[in-house]
Amino acid sequence: MLQSRRLARARDWARQVKRDVHALWIAVRDPRTPWYAKLLAGAVVAYALSPIDLIPDFVPVLGYLDDVIILPFGILLAVRLVPDDLMKEYRATAMRLEGRPASKAGMLAVLAIWLGLAGLTIWWLLS
């Protein structure tokens, strides 16, 4: 009984996170959102929707750190930067749309970071 309640709470939390990511995606595209909120929200949404993780999940412990701690913290911070009345509107719109936007820019940014790190590693090993 207790375990099923915990599982239900975890599912509700995951739905809220997904809704907030979509709401932040809407916020980034709205001219009423302050620039500093757009900047952070854009980075968070790009990373959240990117199919590539900055730290791959197969890396022990650290692989899930971004999914469990860093990403929710970024979402929370970005949501707090968006004015409350706008965030309520964006959340309502996100709930209505329930579509899943894809972030090719986020994927390209993470891919560029990984390729840059791989290039630096090869350069360091060869020099």
Greatest Cα-to-Cα distance within the chain, rounded to the nearest angstrom? 60
In 3-state terms, what secondary structure has residue 23?
helix
Number of domains in the chain: 1
Domain that holds residue 88: 2-126
Q: Return the H-helix or E-strand segment holding 88.
A: helix 84-97
Place of tokens 């750190």: 65
pTM: 0.65
pLDDT-derived band at 77 (thresholds 50, 70, 90) equals very high
Q: Is 86 exposed, middle or buried (0-12, 13-18, 19+ CB in 10 A)?
A: middle
**Region 90-106: what's the mean pLDDT?**
76
**Region 32-45: what's the mean pLDDT?**
92
Confidence check: pLDDT of 36 > 90: yes
pLDDT-derived band at 70 (thresholds 50, 70, 90) equals confident
- The Cα 126–Cα 117 span in angstroms is 14
